[in-house]
Structure 1
């Protein structure tokens, strides 16, 4: 459901009357995925907000795709002329409400009063990320806007402390963590100076049918239709080797899959096949 809401948001932006089909897309820093072995004490850590990325160009908020976001004038009234990069956010597990608010061409002012803009980067600013993070805190304090926030940046001692922090955030319905290399200059594009860390959960489901493959998987299994012990059915289509697709797990067998979270309908997000569970 969350992915579908994001797709709807993007399609809505593109369809707005008078909006150019190819808007100016802002150059921003994009994260790589965290992996074990990282020296975590070289990074500043923050909570990964499940919001909508937005760039403030000094005059208006612009989406990651380059389209204007129609925030009320009072929302941005005390924003600085300096460009900012951040996330529009309401609260944990409130993305659908946020998306419905942000995608309106005529802003719902009552709903926008629940939104804030959480800043985590200063585009093109000099210095290290640690220095820029300090500058963000000073800037936000100086502007005195209730809708402008500095996302909290902190350090952890080691990977074990990082895992405990992740568990704490996820237990409170947070999405995960971001790690930004403390001494990094300002960069754009996808880079290892910025890492995202989300939980990976495991569960099991029963294979109830095969979904035929298409394209390079023509004549093979494209996905498994599986059912959880709670009766939730979904397609499991990634994580397979070619040999798995040629000889898929038998109907009725139990498979283990990994996932990051559940939708409000109970379906796993980013489900990935791990293995066939041996019969008991």
Structure 2
């Protein structure tokens, strides 16, 4: 069974130069095979308009992105569109980075073959930059982070297309990120509270309020998700939601127990709680 090539975490001490680097995208992976767009789990992308828009791009491998790829809500917005059956495909682009017809050809040949096959503005050839030194890679990483991307994807220019996950030793496909994306199961909800304690001035001359629970009341929307990782680590996440999302989740909380959330945080260990977790969106079952 076909499996898309997936990146593994880069070890900066084991990089082999020259290498190619590109900004890491945070959308929905898609590969066109036999006129059908498939997700990374080999399930057809549900959106009919998206299928119609890109079905003729046989053997293209890339990322579906709705709107600005540097938007903080890029993943959430993209999933909302492409995993729905009947939403219009307006604003959905296909950022392509590989052509899988001849998997044994070196990557640079597969990538170069994409250019002559693109005939619509909705398909974007994702730029690959060549580097000879680690210092230049790190400088490019900072540039991408400043622009709002989440990191880098690194590739060997002579790599074949491997079905499944690359390894550090192979160096075919690597990801360089300063934080981790992971999935966690919703096990509960906390209501957002409004602090009605009297405002005072602290020793530094700044406004402050007591945290006494007796003088707090619920606001009727979400304060935080209570989550559990696959390793059994439980934690709460109250960041990454706008007001409308907080209202929607709180209203539907009975139906959302057990859903899989995609979370971003600084590096997480098996025994440690995530540091500064941020909600990115729901992981659709088709995209797992």
> TM-score, normalized by length of structure 1?
0.60
Structure 2 counterpart of 1:132, from 97, 110, 113: 110
* Of 138, 156, 173, the match for 1:181: 156
Q: Which of 29, 43, 62 is the equivalent residue of 1:53?
A: 29
Of residues 155, 170, 195, the one that matches 2:145 is: 170
Give the alignment partner of residue 85 of structure 2, picking from 105, 118, 124. 105
Displacement after TM superposition at 1:30 (Å) = 1.1
Tell me how far apart the structure 2 counterparts of residues 224 and 95 of structure 1 sit (CA, whole Å). Answer: 22
Partner residue of 2:13? 37
Which of 95, 111, 114 does residue 118 from structure 1 map onto? 95
Unaligned runs of 5+ in 1: 1-24, 202-210, 229-234, 246-254, 266-280
Match of 1:239 in 2: 269
Q: Is the 8 A contact 1:223 1:237 kept in 2?
A: no
Instruction: Tell me the alpha carbon deviations over residues 41-86 of structure 1, each in whole angstroms, 9 at most, x when there is no partner.
Output: 3321111100100111141211112222224165226x33x31211
1:195 is matched with: 174
Using the TM superposition, name which of 66-75 and 86-95 deviates more.
66-75
The counterpart of 2:75, out of the listed 95, 98, 120, is: 95
Shift of 1:113: 1.5
Aligned pair count? 197
- Indicate the RMSD between aligned Cα atoms, in angstroms: 3.6
Deviations 1:156-178 (A, max 9, x none): 23111111111111122211111
The C-alpha deviation readout for 1:230-253, integer Å capped at 9, x for no partner, is: xxxxx9995377xxx9xxxxxxxx
TM-score (normalizing by structure 2): 0.58
SS of the residue corresponding to residue 41 of structure 1 reads coil
User: 5+ residue gaps in structure 2?
Assistant: 181-225, 240-264, 282-288
CA distance in 1, matches of 2:238, 2:43: 40
Larger strand proportion of the pair:
2
